[in-house]
Amino acid sequence: MVVNTGLYAFNVTCAYRQIIPTIDSIYGDATPPKTPADFEIKVASPSFARRFFRPQVSFYCDQHSPFKPLPLAQAYALLEWGMNWCIATHDHTQLLIHAAVLVKNNQAIIFPAVPGSGKSTLTAFMAMSGWSLYSDEMAIINLDSGLVSPLYRPICLKNDSIDLVKEWFPDSIFTSTWKDTHKGDVAHLKASSWKEYIQCKPTEIVAIVFPKFVANSELKIYSLNQLQAFETLSKNAFNYGVLGNLGFNVIDKIIKRAALFEIEFGKLGEVEAFLLEDIIE
């Protein structure tokens, strides 16, 4: 089957039919791509024995397996992580930054963050509250224009965030929860439809916000200078070292025209209010 994420298409071979309904629930409404798939990927057992004894699953891209095998129950999560790996490892025509991207009024805000920062929970809250989701994991930025492009992928939620988002948005589309992964418990949220996705266009980045969740805290906002933002943004880029001067130039272009902030937050509504009042026009 072919999975269309908009910018990239994946030809997926899956030895485990039980994950096909999950793939369909997340990507099934996408239009088939008009060009050949960008990646040939497979989810299969690493050995004949592991199909029956403590079943395991491996991810393959063009016969190469970049990860250690995982329990069969984590097959869909492995597929999503493998798709991330394919993009981050192979696309050097654009700057790829580990960050969420949300858009309002044709203005994009990117949220680079380390694991545990609350980025995906914040992304889910805003994406389900009227913002356009461009990405939960990866800001894909044109090297010439500096515009960020949308990617049709779900939001990966972890641990307590899963039940919180389900409580806030009970009609949302979730995968099953994959237990005890290396990231803890994981589930994927479909936060937009294909019809909504195709309305999204490459958009100017008006702000870079580095979020950090601190339980029970009031919102704290810190302005960053361009040097601080450049250093942190380049460290969050998957392919900055490969792009060299091209990567330097596009980050330099972005930080010179974007608002730059670091925030600590305990309440998601306060973050959205700050963004709408101080950044989005």
Tokens 């803890």: give the residue.
Answer: 184
pLDDT over 70 at 178, yes or no: yes
What pLDDT shows up at residue 155?
97
- The two tokens of residue 133 are 């989701």
pLDDT over 70 at 50, yes or no: no
pLDDT over 80 at 169, yes or no: yes
The alpha-helical segments, DSSP class H, found in 119-225 are 119-127, 160-168, 194-197
pLDDT tens-digit series, residues 96-137 = 999 999 999 999 999 998 878 899 999 999 999 999 999 999
d(CA 142, CA 6): 15
* pLDDT over 90, % of the chain: 85
Domains annotated on the chain, with CATH: 1-90 (no CATH), 93-281 (3.40.50)
Tokens 């996408």: give the residue.
Answer: 30
Mean of the per-residue pLDDT values of the chain: 93
What pLDDT shows up at residue 116?
81
Return the minimum-mean-pLDDT range out of 113-122, 151-160, 182-191, 200-209: 113-122
What pLDDT shows up at residue 48?
53
Instruction: Count CB atoms within 10 A of the CB of residue 212.
Output: 16
Instruction: Count CB atoms within 10 A of the CB of residue 38.
Output: 17
Return the minimum-mean-pLDDT range out of 114-118, 121-125, 173-177, 255-259: 114-118
> Which of the two residues, 44 and 189, has the higher pLDDT score?
189
pLDDT tens-digit series, residues 20-47 = 999 999 999 999 998 999 999 999 887 6
How buried is 270 (Cβ within 10 angstroms: 0-12 exposed, 13-18 middle, 19+ buried)? middle
What pLDDT shows up at residue 49?
54
